[in-house]
């Protein structure tokens, strides 16, 4: 393999972010190894097409088990650690598994990376989440908006199962920071902010809305209509993750990935009505689940300053691509 091409491991690589990242990196000619246990990921046509490429390999393994890492091998230049059970439903239904899988896989990947990988100057990247700091608004009633990387990481209520996801991401950040200092290896942390796009599963806000509009649900439910999010299209998102990984300037740092535009959920839904050319006559306004954050807007000035990256895809353009994919791939 040409010297410029890298050997790359993506844990959780068959999932939403992992698939799009693997596809992007494979197109550049890198040797890609995907590790996934398919708890949430699926063997669909998109993944099958990706795996047909000679430079992409899949290991179906449980990364909570130490022996799984022996199958994956060694000698990776870059390791993207994306493993985690995402999806609000799972935070409430199986919080113990969200915690167990998140923490155990993070401990395993760090032990393997510094003890066995054996590649000089290799780098590992952790995908954390905005959920790691989201509780500050609930706990103290205030959070700087746009939100920078150095805000306190807060779990508002340890008894609320929603914080199982944010809690294990918070712990993961601590592991990455202090393992890398103790064993002197390169690492970066990124915090995704509301990534969306094709193949994101069916249990997130945009896919769920697509399904309701397609089925012409009346009265049309709106959950958290006055809440806000900053939606980042997946192509922009994986470009940002790769940029952080490949930059030496980002070593040891934490970076928010998102857009600088804050979108009200009600306005998002109305935009989707326009794109799909249907509007209901009645609405059913509902509260979000307990623990949901009222506003969320990332300060993305740090990643732009250190790498030059910024999101390019307008929300309407990204929504059109996303809606087209979901209409062609309805939930089974």
Helix (H, G, I), strand (E, B) or coil at 84: coil
- Domain 7-196+233-258+298-312: give its CATH code: 3.40.50.720
Please provide the distance, in angstroms rounded to a whole number, between the alpha carbons at the two ends of the chain.
40
The two three-digit tokens of residue 237, written as one number? 């998102």
Contact 163, 156 (CB under 8 A): yes
- Cis peptide leading into residue 219 (ω within 30°): yes
Tell me the whole-structure pTM to 2 decimals.
Answer: 0.94
pLDDT 10s digits, 84-104:
998 888 999 999 999 999 999
- Which pLDDT score is estimated for 3? 53
Residues facing 81 on adjacent strands? 11, 126
The alpha-carbon radius of gyration of the chain (Å, integer) is 19
pLDDT 10s digits, 246-260:
999 999 999 999 999
Domain ranges of the chain: 7-196+233-258+298-312
- State yes or no: pLDDT of 290 exceeds 70: no
- State yes or no: pLDDT of 241 exceeds 90: yes
pLDDT 10s digits, 250-289:
999 999 999 999 999 999 999 999 999 999 999 998 877 6
Contact 8, 33 (CB under 8 A): yes
Band of residue 2 on the pLDDT scale cut at 50, 70, 90: very low
Q: What is the biggest distance separating any 2 CA atoms in the chain, rounded to whole angstroms?
A: 62
The candidate with the shortest Cα–Cα distance to 81, out of 232, 190, 193, 195, is 190
Arithmetic mean of pLDDT, 20-45: 95
The candidate with the shortest Cα–Cα distance to 131, out of 80, 179, 90, 79, is 90
């Amino acid at each position: 393999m040409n010297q410029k091409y890298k050997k790359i491991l993506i844990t959780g690589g068959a999932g939403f972010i992992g698939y799009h990242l693997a596809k992007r990196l494979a197109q550049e000619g890198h040797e890609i190894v995907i590790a996934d246990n398919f708890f949430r990921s699926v063997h669909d046509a998109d993944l099958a097409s990706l795996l047909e490429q000679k430079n992409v390999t899949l290991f179906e393994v449980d990364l909570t088990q130490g022996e799984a890492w022996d199958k994956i091998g060694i000698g990776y230049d870059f390791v993207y650690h994306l493993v985690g059970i995402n999806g609000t439903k799972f935070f409430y239904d199986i919080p113990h598994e969200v915690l167990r899988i998140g923490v155990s896989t993070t401990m395993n990947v760090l032990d393997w990376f510094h003890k066995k990988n054996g590649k000089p100057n290799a780098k590992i990247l952790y995908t954390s989440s905005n959920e790691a700091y989201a509780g500050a608004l609930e706990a103290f009633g205030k959070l700087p908006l746009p939100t920078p990387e150095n805000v306190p990481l807060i779990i508002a209520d340890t008894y609320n199962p929603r914080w199982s996801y944010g809690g294990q991401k918070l712990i993961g950040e601590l592991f990455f920071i202090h393992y890398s200092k103790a064993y002197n290896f390169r690492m970066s942390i990124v915090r995704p902010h509301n990534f969306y796009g094709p193949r994101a599963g069916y249990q997130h806000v945009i896919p769920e809305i697509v399904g309701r509009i397609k089925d012409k649900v009346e009265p049309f439910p709106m959950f958290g209509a006055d809440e806000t999010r900053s939606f980042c299209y997946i192509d922009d998102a994986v470009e940002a993750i790769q940029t952080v990984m490949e930059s030496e300037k980002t070593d040891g740092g934490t970076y928010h990935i998102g857009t600088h535009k804050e979108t009200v959920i009600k306005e998002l839904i109305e935009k989707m009505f326009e794109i799909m050319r249907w509007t209901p006559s009645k609405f059913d306004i509902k509260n979000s689940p307990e623990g949901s954050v009222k506003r969320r807007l990332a300060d993305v000035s740090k990643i732009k300053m250190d790498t030059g990256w910024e999101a390019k895809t307008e929300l309407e353009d990204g929504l059109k691509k996303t809606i087209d994919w979901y209409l062609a791939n309805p939930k089974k």
